[in-house]
Structure formats: structure tokens, C-alpha cells
């Protein structure tokens, strides 16, 4: 070896100094391991960036965590199940230990699911955790989406993450459907039977697509192994990929925070990853897992042994999908038969196609597009890192509630038979009522929600201007009574006044300075109309001047008379 080369080799080692003497033997050992890893990965740079990352604290930020943990628990228990489950529609006589089904011909998929439930020690527990965690996954990600929507967390720069979340949510539904179809019991087989009908309703290509997916006539032996590949390989890979991108973007953007004293658009206030957030979030994983285990120990879910193997001929009353598919099933129950008709001798089944095929992509397209629509209306191109209190954006909140209402009407419609039996009512009346409610209820809840938001905002104004009721009654020498109001301190006050309330865009004249009709006039007018719809009903935050005026009026008089520009805003909102 030449001297130059050995000098270079020495240089390469120059960066690997022996670390200074650690305190204890175990710390020495840990330090040595860490040093070994860092010399090969340089991980300390990333770690020091990550470990001091700050996460704001709020219960609603844990909803996404629940979704994440439920997904991890599904992956974990899913691996267990895959060791015993046989994804085959091959028909065999049942030889397991569940006596009522002894000797009955069934698919290997159903037989192996029975084996997991009765013959594998602890298998039932794992199966039930898997199913409960899947339900929890969809619940928590839905509620997490509600939180993000109602607080405006989807605004710039987080639109991409909203779209990723939307995709995750849609894929979770499909993943769930694929999963509960696998055991090939009577209930899930009936679900697949209906799914084949859905596919057939696709115009022009429906019957061919059905034959391709099922590998021939329904049910065939292809669908179970294919659904299995989709359920354990394809969709989990896509879900994990999207989820990773989702989390990376959260890191890049830094978490949003609720408005409060000291919290601004330029900072993030909370606890560092090490140690507080690690302990809390890590501990929370165990809490979610523990709760799911407890529920799985005590509450039976999807008792497939009670349904029997799939057979195209029998069916049970009260057939329902898992809850998250309920809205699509409800839509199928509500869509009237006259939506099926013939054109040029071809049959178009919109009564099936709209609810079973189009509804889910349509719903998620609207959801995914919402941030872009709102941005177009508001014209707001700034970054937003401080969340909105839902009441401070009444129209968005009302739109969200209206959408949830429409969804819930469809979901409850999927239980129209159960409702009819439990309440001893006519199923025909209930179905008709749901058909009407689907159109009427969202309008009603939109209006009511907007009114509630405005009232809450007015209440906030009132609290800022006149303080909170102290409960102390004072009698004046003249014999008058009044209640002493305590003024809010500046920190509490900031939570109620620290928001924007933009005015709607003025309706443009449609002409430029020379009186010539502008090219974009139509677009501008349309946008101003939408802006008016979005911002018309509003209450402005209290200004320091208004507060000073309220003080000037004196503590006890101020109770009756709101004053200043804010009062004008209130009047305005009342008229709307």
C-alpha cells in the first residue's frame, strides 16, 4: 500500500473518534451500538431532527393516531390469520370440531375459518381483534376526516395530504369489503352475489367484466383466491405506501394547532417527540390495542359459524354489510326501479349502477375536491397552520354537516328492514320517508348548523364584551339588582377574538375602467356569488375599540346593549 493511500485511509477514519467515557457500563454498551449504527447510516443527524420535533396536544389529534394503530393491529393480526386461512373455494366435507356443521359440504375457505374459530387455540381472539380493528380503522379515519374538515386543516399547504387521506379512506372500504367476503359464509357470499349484480349493471362492459373478475359464471372458484390476493397483498401495499406519504407530509408541514395564546401561524407549540410524545403516543398504541382485545374477548363479531356455508339458494332476513358499506346498500334500497330502462334495445340499470358503482367514487371525488373548491371561492392563497374553530366558518361547517346528514340517511336506509321490525312500522313508509329525507334533511341541517354557528359566535362576542357570569348578585342602594360579570383575562379572551371573518367579494360591475365589458366578467360574477354564499352569514370578532366602549358603558349596563360595529355585524347576520 502506498503512503498516499494509507494516509487517505487514515483520513476516512478521522471522523470515527472514540466517544468520551460514558457514565455506566450499560450506557457504554448502548453508546457503542449507537456509534456502530451511526458510522454506517449517519442516523444521528436524522434522529436529532426527529427527536426534538414538536407535536401540539389536543384530544382530536389522537383520532388519526387511532386509525394508524388500528391499521397496524390489522396488519399484525392479519399475518397471524394468513397462517391458517386457506383461500380456496374448493368444496370439501367439514371435519372440524364444530358439531352442527359436521359433514356438510363447504368451501375450504369457510372450513379453515371455522378451524381458526374453534380448533386453533386463541384463533378466535385473533380473528375477532382483526375484525374489530378493521371496524375501528374505518370509524377512526372517518372521524379524523371530520376533524380535519371542520377545522380547515385541509387548507394550503395540506391539500395533497387531504387527497391522500381521501384515497386511504376509499381504499379502506374496499379492503374491508374484500376481507369480510373471504370466509365464504352465507352472509358474505350473499354480499358477493350482490356485488356480481353491481358489476353487471355497468353499461356496455358489465357482463364481460363480471366474467373476467369471477373467472366465469358466478360464484366460480376464482373469486376467493383473487380477493385474498387483493386483501393481503395489493391493497395493504397501496395503503401502507399512501399512509407513509401521509405521515411524511405531516412531518414536513409540522402539525397544525388550535388557536390559543402563544400559538401563531409561524410557530408550533407542544411537546417534543422525546420523551413526552413518545410516551404518550406509544402508550396510546397499547391503549388502542388493549381496548380492541378487551372488546374482542367479550363481544362476538361476525359469528360465521351461525350463518353456514355459502349457497346461492338460501338467504337470511336482515342481511346487512359491515357498517361502512351500509350507505351504499342504503342507496340501493332507495333508488327507484324506474331508473332501469332500455335504450336502443340495450338495458341500462341506473337503479343499481348509481348506488353500487358510481356512489363511492363520486362521494370521494367531491370530498377530495373540496379544498380546491373552497380555495377558489375564498381566493385565499396563504399557508394556514392555525386551525379554525368550526363555529368561525359557519358555511363550511354547515356544508360538512349537510354531507354527513346525507350519508347518515343512506346508512340508516340500509337498516330499513330492521327499523320496520323493531318499531312495528311499514317498511314501505320507512323507505319512502328515507327517499324524501335524503333530499330534505341535508338542507335542514345545513340551515340549522349555520344558525347554531352564528349563535355560538355571538355568544363568544357577548362573553368577551361583558365577561362571564360570576353568579354574584348585587343590590344597588336604589333597589336595582344586577349580576356581576367577570372580565376574561387576556389569554381566555384571545381564544375568542383571534380569528378572521372575511367579507364576501363585492359583486363586480362586469366592466373595466372604460366601461367595456370585461372578458372574465361572467367568471368574476359567479365567483362573487359563491363568495357571498360562503361568507354572507358572519359575525366579526370583537375589536379592542368595541371592548373599550363596552367598558365605558359600565359593567352592569353593558349587559343589555351590545354596541359598535360588532352589533352591526350581528344585525346583518340576523337579517340573513
- Stretch 512-571 residues interacting with another protein (CB under 8 A): 541-546, 548-549, 552, 564
How far apart, in Å, do the first and last CA atoms of the chain sit? Answer: 88
What is the C-alpha to C-alpha distance for residues 39 and 54, in angstroms, rounded to an integer?
Answer: 27
Q: Which range of residues in 80-88, 265-273, 503-511, 517-525 is near another protein by CB under 8 A? A: 265-273
DSSP 415: T
DSSP 505: P
Name which position in 480, 490, 516, 554 contacts another protein (CB under 8 A).
Answer: 490
Name which position in 325, 332, 454, 569 contacts another protein (CB under 8 A).
Answer: 332
Nearer to another protein among residue 336 and residue 361 (C-beta): 336
Name which position in 266, 422, 424, 475 contacts another protein (CB under 8 A).
Answer: 266
Q: Which three cell numbers stand for residue 337?
A: 326501479
Least distance from C-beta 383 to another protein, angstroms?
6
Residue 234 engages another protein in binding (rule: CB under 8 A): no
3-state secondary structure of 201: coil
**Cβ distance 391 to 315 under 8 Å?**
no
Nearer to another protein among residue 121 and residue 519 (C-beta): 121
> Which of 178, 277, 168, 270 lies closest to 224 in space, CA to CA?
178
Q: Which range of residues in 74-82, 122-130, 236-244, 524-532 is near another protein by CB under 8 A? A: 122-130
Name which position in 271, 305, 323, 530 contacts another protein (CB under 8 A).
Answer: 271
Name which position in 329, 388, 460, 462 contacts another protein (CB under 8 A).
Answer: 329
Nearer to another protein among residue 7 and residue 99 (C-beta): 99
Residue 233 engages another protein in binding (rule: CB under 8 A): no
**Between residue 350 and residue 409, which ones bind another protein under the rule CB under 8 A?**
351-352, 356, 383, 385
What is the C-alpha to C-alpha distance for residues 396 and 370, in angstroms, rounded to an integer?
Answer: 10
**Between residue 297 and residue 326, which ones bind another protein under the rule CB under 8 A?**
297-300, 310-319
Least distance from C-beta 384 to another protein, angstroms?
11
Secondary element (H or E) of residue 184: none
Name which position in 165, 270, 371, 390 contacts another protein (CB under 8 A).
Answer: 270
What is the C-alpha to C-alpha distance for residues 163 and 370, in angstroms, rounded to an integer?
Answer: 10
Nearer to another protein among residue 270 and residue 400 (C-beta): 270
Nearer to another protein among residue 253 and residue 556 (C-beta): 253
**Between residue 428 and residue 487, which ones bind another protein under the rule CB under 8 A?**
428, 431
Nearer to another protein among residue 366 and residue 436 (C-beta): 436
Least distance from C-beta 312 to another protein, angstroms?
4
Q: Which three cell numbers stand for residue 345?
A: 334495445
Q: Which three cell numbers stand for residue 474?
A: 348585587
Q: Which three cell numbers stand for residue 186?
A: 352465507
Name which position in 42, 216, 241, 379 contacts another protein (CB under 8 A).
Answer: 216
Ramachandran angles phi, psi of 308, nearest 5°? 85, 170
**Between residue 156 and residue 195, which ones bind another protein under the rule CB under 8 A?**
157, 190, 193-194
What is the C-alpha to C-alpha distance for residues 76 and 70, in angstroms, rounded to an integer?
Answer: 10
**Cβ distance 192 to 226 under 8 Å?**
no
How many positions of this chain bind another protein (CB under 8 A)?
A: 131
Secondary element (H or E) of residue 115: helix 108-118
Strands of 24-129 (E only): list them: 54-55, 91-93, 105-107
**Between residue 10 and residue 39, which ones bind another protein under the rule CB under 8 A?**
none
Least distance from C-beta 372 to another protein, angstroms?
17
Q: How far is CA 413 from CA 38, 67, 121, 323, in A?
A: 58, 26, 39, 12
Q: Which range of residues in 33-41, 359-367, 444-452, 488-496 is near another protein by CB under 8 A? A: 488-496
Least distance from C-beta 139 to another protein, angstroms?
19
Name which position in 37, 104, 237, 252 contacts another protein (CB under 8 A).
Answer: 252
DSSP 276: I
Least distance from C-beta 152 to another protein, angstroms?
17
DSSP 263: B
Q: Which three cell numbers stand for residue 471?
A: 353568579
**Cβ distance 138 to 176 under 8 Å?**
yes
Residue 103 engages another protein in binding (rule: CB under 8 A): no
> Which of 456, 453, 441, 462 lies closest to 536 in space, CA to CA?
453
Least distance from C-beta 72 to another protein, angstroms?
13
Ramachandran angles phi, psi of 185, nearest 5°? -85, 175
Amino acid at each position: 500500500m502506498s503512503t498516499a493511500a494509507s494516509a487517505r485511509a487514515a483520513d476516512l477514519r478521522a471522523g470515527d473518534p472514540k466517544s468520551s467515557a460514558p457514565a455506566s457500563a450499560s450506557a457504554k454498551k448502548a453508546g457503542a451500538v449507537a456509534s456502530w449504527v451511526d458510522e454506517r447510516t449517519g442516523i444521528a443527524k436524522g434522529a436529532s431532527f426527529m427527536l426534538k420535533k414538536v407535536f401540539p396536544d389536543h384530544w382530536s389529534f389522537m383520532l388519526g393516531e387511532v386509525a394508524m394503530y388500528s391499521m397496524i393491529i390489522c396488519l399484525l393480526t392479519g399475518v397471524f390469520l394468513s397462517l391458517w386461512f386457506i383461500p380456496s373455494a374448493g368444496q370439501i366435507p367439514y371435519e372440524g370440531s364444530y358439531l352442527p356443521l359436521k359433514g356438510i359440504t363447504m368451501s375450504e375457505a369457510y372450513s379453515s375459518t371455522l378451524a381458526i374459530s374453534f380448533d386453533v387455540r386463541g384463533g378466535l381472539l385473533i380473528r375477532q381483534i382483526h375484525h374489530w380493528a378493521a371496524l375501528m380503522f374505518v370509524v377512526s379515519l372517518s372521524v379524523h376526516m371530520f376533524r380535519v374538515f371542520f377545522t380547515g386543516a385541509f387548507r394550503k399547504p395540506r391539500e395533497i395530504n387531504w387527497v391522500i387521506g381521501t384515497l386511504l379512506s376509499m381504499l379502506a372500504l374496499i379492503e374491508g369489503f374484500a376481507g369480510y367476503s373471504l370466509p365464504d359464509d352465507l352472509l358474505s357470499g350473499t354480499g358477493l352475489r350482490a356485488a356480481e349484480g353491481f358489476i353487471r349493471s355497468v353499461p356496455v362492459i358489465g357482463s364481460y367484466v363480471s366474467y373476467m373478475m369471477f373467472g366465469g359464471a358466478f360464484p366460480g372458484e376464482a373469486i376467493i383466491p383473487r380477493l385474498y390476493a387483493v386483501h393481503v397483498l395489493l391493497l395493504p401495499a397501496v395503503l401502507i405506501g399512501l399512509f407513509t406519504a401521509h405521515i411524511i407530509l405531516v412531518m414536513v408541514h409540522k402539525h397544525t394547532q388550535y388557536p390559543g395564546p402563544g400559538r401563531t401561524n409561524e410557530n408550533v407549540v407542544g411537546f417534543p417527540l422525546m420523551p413526552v410524545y413518545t410516551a404518550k403516543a406509544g402508550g396510546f398504541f397499547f391503549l388502542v390495542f388493549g381496548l380492541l382485545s378487551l372488546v374482542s374477548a367479550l363481544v362476538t363479531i361476525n359469528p360465521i359459524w351461525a350463518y353456514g356455508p355459502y349457497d346461492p339458494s338460501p338467504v337470511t332476513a336482515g342481511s346487512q354489510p359491515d357498517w361502512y358499506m351500509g350507505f351504499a346498500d342504503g342507496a340501493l334500497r332507495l333508488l327507484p326501479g324506474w331508473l332501469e330502462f332500455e335504450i336502443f334495445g340495450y338495458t341500462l340499470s341506473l337503479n343499481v349502477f348509481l348506488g353500487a358503482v358510481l356512489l363511492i367514487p363520486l362521494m370521494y371525488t367531491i370530498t377530495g375536491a373540496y379544498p380546491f373548491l373552497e380555495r377558489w371561492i375564498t381566493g385565499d392563497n396563504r399557508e394556514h397552520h392555525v386551525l379554525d374553530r368550526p363555529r368561525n366558518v359557519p358555511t363550511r361547517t354547515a356544508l360538512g354537516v349537510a354531507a354527513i346528514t346525507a350519508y347518515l340517511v343512506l346508512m340508516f336506509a340500509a337498516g330499513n328492514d330492521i327499523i320496520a321490525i323493531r318499531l312495528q312500522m311499514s317498511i314501505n313508509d320507512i323507505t319512502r320517508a328515507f327517499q324524501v329525507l335524503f333530499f330534505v334533511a341535508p338542507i335542514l341541517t345545513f340551515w340549522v348548523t349555520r344558525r347554531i354557528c352564528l349563535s355560538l359566535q355571538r355568544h363568544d362576542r357577548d362573553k368577551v364584551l361583558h365577561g362571564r357570569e360570576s353568579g354574584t348578585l348585587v343590590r344597588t342602594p336604589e333597589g336595582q339588582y344586577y349580576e356581576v360579570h367577570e372580565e376574561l383575562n387576556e389569554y381566555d379572551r384571545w381564544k375568542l377574538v383571534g380569528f378572521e371573518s372575511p367579507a364576501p367579494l363585492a359583486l363586480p360591475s362586469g366592466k373595466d375602467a372604460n366601461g367595456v365589458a370585461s372578458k372574465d366578467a361572467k367568471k368574476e360574477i359567479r365567483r362573487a356569488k359563491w363568495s357571498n354564499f360562503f361568507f354572507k352569514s358572519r359575525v366579526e370578532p370583537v375589536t379592542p375599540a368595541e371592548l373599550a366602549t363596552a367598558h365605558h358603558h359600565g359593567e352592569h349596563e353593558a349587559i343589555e346593549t351590545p354596541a359598535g360595529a360588532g352589533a352591526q355585524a350581528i344585525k346583518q347576520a340576523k337579517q340573513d
